[in-house]
């Protein structure tokens, strides 16, 4: 049975609105909520400015107020948090993050199995508190990153990818997914994964860490000039995916969704709705040809994220994609999972033995893929 979770956010500009004092004023309400529900909470963070230190402070603050908390040993992509909750590492999660938004923002995100909560009530800060930042030598540390990597290895045909000679560029945009895809594929593989923008940069190079807000000029140039098989760019929080084919051209979220949907259906016998943004309806003539050829149904949704959640809850979703490239799979995860989508695309290229630009061209023909 799929667990329905709800997301609650409080965000602000760093220093102006999102401050240590403002975070600490929310500990009491958060602890009351966790204690009243009896929830175990995983505290995690992304790579934004001081996120790791503030996460450690949250851990100490909530634990001092009696809450059952654990602390992620490393920054986590958002999909990794969902996997940890699926595997009952905790009942809910508190993430110090502003997702894939502008670098000057930060925030708190609560992922909880209940609707209608008000977790970020502004109250009184703790009366006495250790200096910031402080070590947490006795913290209950959880290696949720390893849990996520293992879950990806369970879904992907790793041996096929390892035994195929591919070269893949991965732009992790200075975010939380650095090292994830190479770790899944493993050492000494014939497939070579080259990461760029992997360095820890709390300001994301002064850019919005989202592939659909960036030109990806460097990634496109590297892929094109090195004769690589493809390139992928992953948003800082691990939810949104950008794809560059072997000629350095950007593939649309619609194209990637349809390629992966056809692959899941043909290779793994999976069925269900393919939900795409209504803004992609201009492509309808060749999409309708694709439907006829594959036997799958494509739904153009005005609010794709909402419709994807509804279809997944009703066990009707094969794959869904939002305007900004968040790909959600019906049988894996409940939110956009860019590393999973990227690895599945690599598996597709490895199995087909065909360049991605060729697959894209064939896809856009009236008769479909």
Domain boundaries, the chain: 6-147, 156-363
Q: Give the global pTM.
A: 0.94
Element housing 329 (H / E):
strand 327-329
**Same fold yes or no, 6-147 and 156-363:** yes
Domain 156-363 has CATH 3.40.50.10470: no
User: Do strands 141-142 and 68-72 pair parallel, antiparallel, or not at all (unpaired)?
Assistant: parallel
Q: How many CA atoms are closer than 13 Å to the CA of 44, on its beta-carbon side? A: 31
Does the structural domain 6-147 have CATH classification 3.40.50.10490?
A: no
Helix (H) or strand (E) holding 49: none
pLDDT by 10s per residue, the chain, length 369: 567 789 999 999 999 999 999 999 999 999 999 999 999 999 999 999 999 999 999 999 999 999 999 999 999 999 999 999 999 999 999 999 999 999 999 999 999 999 999 999 999 888 788 888 877 767 799 999 999 999 999 999 999 999 999 999 999 999 999 999 999 999 999 999 999 999 988 999 889 999 998 889 999 999 999 989 999 999 999 999 999 999 999 999 999 999 999 999 999 999 999 999 998 877 778 999 999 999 999 999 999 999 999 999 899 999 999 999 999 999 876 789 999 999 999 999 999 999 999 999 999 886 544
Closest CA to 126 of 190, 216, 31: 31
Residues near 366 by beta carbon (within 8 Å), at least 6 away in sequence: 285, 286, 289
CA–CA distance, 3 with 91 (Å, rounded to integer): 11
Burial classification of residue 196, based on how many CB atoms lie within 10 Å of its CB (0-12 exposed, 13-18 middle, 19 or more buried): middle
């Amino acid at each position: 049975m799929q667990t329905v979770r709800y997301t609650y956010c409080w965000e602000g500009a760093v220093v102006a609105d999102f401050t240590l004092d403002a975070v600490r004023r929310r500990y009491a309400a958060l602890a009351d909520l966790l204690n009243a529900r009896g929830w175990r909470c995983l505290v995690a963070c992304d790579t934004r400015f001081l996120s790791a230190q503030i996460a450690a402070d949250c851990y100490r603050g909530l634990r001092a107020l009696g809450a059952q908390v654990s602390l992620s040993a490393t920054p986590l992509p958002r999909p990794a948090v969902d996997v940890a909750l699926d595997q009952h590492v905790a009942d809910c999660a508190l993430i110090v993050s502003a997702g894939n938004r502008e670098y000057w923002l930060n925030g708190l995100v609560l992922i909880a199995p209940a609707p209608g909560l008000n977790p970020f009530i502004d109250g009184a800060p703790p009366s006495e508190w250790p200096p910031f930042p402080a070590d947490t030598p006795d913290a209950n540390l959880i290696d949720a990153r390893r849990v996520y990597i293992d879950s990806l290895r369970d879904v992907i045909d790793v041996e096929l990818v390892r035994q195929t000679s591919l070269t893949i560029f991965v732009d992790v945009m200075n975010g939380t997914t650095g090292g994830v895809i190479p770790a899944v594929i493993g050492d000494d593989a014939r497939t070579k994964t080259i990461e760029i923008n992997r360095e820890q940069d709390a300001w994301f190079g002064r850019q919005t860490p989202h592939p659909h807000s960036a030109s990806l000029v460097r990634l496109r140039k590297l892929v094109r000039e090195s004769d690589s098989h493809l390139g992928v760019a992953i948003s800082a929080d691990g939810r949104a995916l950008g794809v560059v084919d072997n000629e350095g051209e950007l593939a649309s979220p619609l194209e990637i969704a349809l390629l992966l949907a056809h692959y899941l259906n043909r290779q793994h016998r999976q069925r269900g709705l393919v939900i795409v943004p209504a803004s992609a309806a201009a492509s309808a003539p060749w999409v309708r040809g694709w439907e006829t050829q594959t036997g799958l149904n494509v739904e153009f949704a005005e609010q794709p994220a909402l419709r994807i959640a509804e279809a997944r809850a009703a066990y009707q979703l094969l794959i869904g994609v939002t305007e900004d490239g968040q790909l959600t799979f019906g049988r894996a995860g409940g939110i956009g999972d860019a590393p999973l989508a990227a690895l599945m695309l690599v598996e597709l290229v490895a199995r087909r033995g065909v360049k991605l630009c060729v697959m894209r061209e064939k896809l856009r023909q009236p008769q479909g893929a």
